[in-house]
Amino acid sequence: MNVTFNPGPSQLYFTVQDHVRKAFRDGIPSLSHRSKEFESAFEKATTGLKTLLGIPSSFSIFFTGSATETWERSIQNLAEHQSVHFVNGAFSKRYFEIAQQMKRNPFKIESAPGKGFDTDYNLPNQPELIALTHNETSTGVSLPLSFIHGFREKYPEALIIVDAVSSLPYPDFDYSKIDSIFFSVQKGFGQPAGLGVWIVNERCIEKSEQLLRKGIDIGTYHNLPTFFANAKKNQTPETPNVLGIYLLGKVVEDFLRRGIKTIRSETEYKAAILYQTLKNHPLMNPFVQEQAIQSKTVIVADCGIHTERISKYLLSHDVQPGDGYGEFKKQHLRFANFPAHSKEQFELLVGYLNQIV
Amino acid sequence: MNVTFNPGPSQLYFTVQDHVRKAFRDGIPSLSHRSKEFESAFEKATTGLKTLLGIPSSFSIFFTGSATETWERSIQNLAEHQSVHFVNGAFSKRYFEIAQQMKRNPFKIESAPGKGFDTDYNLPNQPELIALTHNETSTGVSLPLSFIHGFREKYPEALIIVDAVSSLPYPDFDYSKIDSIFFSVQKGFGQPAGLGVWIVNERCIEKSEQLLRKGIDIGTYHNLPTFFANAKKNQTPETPNVLGIYLLGKVVEDFLRRGIKTIRSETEYKAAILYQTLKNHPLMNPFVQEQAIQSKTVIVADCGIHTERISKYLLSHDVQPGDGYGEFKKQHLRFANFPAHSKEQFELLVGYLNQIV
């Protein structure tokens, strides 16, 4: 095959190259971002996403440069005094650290890498912004949807923001229990990197307007009121990644045609055969042991001292695993399970893994 | 022909589509941004740019999402008390307004649209940051290089930053008289939009470190110290527009092969024949009358009541002019003169214009 299971930038969705070819034929890269044609590409991407993911029409969709930018902008626009973070790996930690750098006095509930969180955590009184990393890309822990959806009732005043960078479009969130969610296109949407997608409801817009009225710095061209005023006209505050927005609309259309139910059930099938293989394998184990929090979209194998050998074997068959992240570089391999990865590719991957003894 | 003279996003450089095809063949869009292959694409783009533009090796080159982002980040990282802005059109004004939004108490020297600046301006004592828009894309005024280079001697303590969004690679700046310069790739570099390029010297890094030590908010992942620490390793703080950086390296290589002298002299030839045509034309005039400040790269025609007719005539020959900007939408047409626009295309453009009487 010749496929990358690196969690991101990852395998391109198989239609992307054709869409790029058509984009060049149709002059998309030279399109003025103030033209009607751009506005329809913007509308196609945003309404398509809402349909695909079941996002209520009252939510707005904005485009940033990266999910990293969304980390910063979300703290800047949504936290005046304090954000609360659930930290269980490198990426949830980085979100927390960004809030520290921005002096928003963040509070963290911490758990060990590969672990989830107890439900009897103690949050500060009246938390303002609760930041949850749905899928910790570094270790393959996924927070259960029931855990994420449980905050609304306990903390009705808090804004709840979910980093779903490496899980969407798989999870079926209840958007009445979430105020904001974000991802970037080079993971589950199988596109070239360089575009972040930030989805917010009206409460987020109101909060940022409150901060603005209080004279708090919420940024300039990428603050929520400016995003909102532009998005109402299917426009962006700056010259954006026009090609990326066009491609997102096209890929979402492909996903809609395939059906979100099919995408979800195939994701579950592929995850099941890989976890099964890891569990029964003499040389490796799932790093995340507790089944309820095993990510379906980033599956991490604890290969210990066999890591390099397994990696080399896969590479010799043109299969590229993702390296372990950070401290786990020498003992883990990570396997993205995105819509771009077919069932056949997962069956072959599992076959290769079973050949290693 | 079928060419767009819109100043940006503009005509793609003629090699871009082939580079994109090769990028897909070589797996560039799926490349990990922490891989050696990405680091060499980063190095190729940045060292190529330095060679092309004659930028000293002590400067660093960083990648933002857009020039609009660079407006914000440059104020955030380089101005503690006050930035000074020379405002003579919509884009220089927007830069000033961003500094206002960021409460950096900006000071402006203002001139009418289509006009330049006197050299006997009065700046505040000891200006901290002087922001100059080399080429006002809205009206086609270009500041003379002698004007830009004159600030260093008068204000040796000030940082001098130049917005060269719609002029590079044409101008031959003296980088000993400038501390920072920036552009975005969808104009003179003929690429798809979605990548800003921010070039700074060591004084800028030091200034941002000073602000950081004083506890001033300089942003997080895109502050200058973080950019700098990453760029030293040919890396970026976040997952960037990998394909855009790769393409920039390729286009710069093409420009180097063609030669910057050729690019500059062709730009001057194309500008000369278009200004000549406008001057002698019964229905239009150059909007910028003073020759010393007529932009070579964005040429604005004052077409008055004939604007719509001229625009339609050009469009009927598959030639797309840029609309007038803002208040001038109904009376100007703008013509980008970038390396992507060939001499032959300009000769045809001039021919069509001469047919309209």
B164-187 pLDDT, tens digit per residue, is 999 999 999 999 999 999 999 999
Do the interacting molecules here have an ipTM over 0.90? yes
Task: Write out residues 278-317 of B within 8 Å (CB-CB) of A.
Answer: none
Counting residues of chain A whose pLDDT is more than 70, the rounded percentage is 100
Residue B349 near residue B21 (C-beta atoms within 8 A)? no
Six token digits for residue B55 = 């930028």
Q: Domain B3-10+260-355: which topology?
A: Aspartate Aminotransferase, domain 1 (3.90.1150)
Determine which of B1, B24, B32 to mutate to test the interface with A (most A C-beta atoms within 10 Å): B32
Rounded Cα gap, residues B138 and B151, in angstroms: 24
pTM of the prediction? 0.97
Task: Write out residues 98-117 of B within 8 Å (CB-CB) of A.
Answer: 98, 101-103
Residue A292 confidence (pLDDT): 97
Q: Where are the beta strands (DSSP E) in chain B?
A: 3-4, 60-64, 83-87, 107-110, 129-133, 135-136, 141-142, 159-163, 180-184, 196-200, 285-286, 298-302, 319-320, 322-323, 332-336
Rounded Cα gap, residues B256 and B47, in angstroms: 11
Residue B125 confidence (pLDDT): 87
Tell me what the mean pLDDT of segment B263-285 comes to.
Answer: 98
Six token digits for residue B33 = 């941004």
**pLDDT tens readout for residues A207-218:** 999 999 999 999
Q: pLDDT band for position B249 (50/70/90)?
A: very high
Determine which of A17, A73, A83, A243 to mutate to test the interface with B (most B C-beta atoms within 10 Å): A243
Give Cα A42 to chain centroid, integer Å.
20
Segment holding B204, helix H or strand E: helix B202-213
Closest to B98 in 3D by CA, of B78, B116, B74, B81: B74
**pLDDT tens readout for residues B58-113:** 999 999 999 999 999 999 999 999 999 999 999 999 999 999 999 999 999 999 99
Rounded Cα gap, residues A201 and A161, in angstroms: 10
According to CATH, where is 3.40.640.10 located in chain B? 16-257
Three-state secondary structure string covering A32-93: CCCCHHHHHHHHHHHHHHHHHHCCCCCCEEEEECCHHHHHHHHHHHHCCCCEEEEECCHHHH
Inform me whether the pLDDT recorded for A233 exceeds 80. yes
CA distance to partner chain A, nearest, from residue B150 (Å): 31
From B325, which residue of chain A is nearest by alpha-carbon distance?
Answer: A34
Instruction: Name every residue whose Cβ is closer than 8 Å to that of residue A354 and which is 6 or more positions away in sequence.
Output: A277, A281
**pLDDT tens readout for residues B110-169:** 999 999 999 888 899 889 999 999 999 999 999 999 999 999 999 999 999 999 999 999
Segment holding A4, helix H or strand E: strand A3-4
Residue A1 confidence (pLDDT): 58
**pLDDT tens readout for residues A244-296:** 999 999 999 999 999 999 999 999 999 999 999 999 999 999 999 999 999 99
Cβ distance B12 to A6 less than 8 Å, yes or no, reads: no
According to CATH, where is 3.90.1150.10 located in chain B? 3-10+260-355
Rounded Cα gap, residues A184 and A49, in angstroms: 13
- Kindly indicate whether the domain formed by A16-257 is annotated with CATH number 3.20.20.70: no
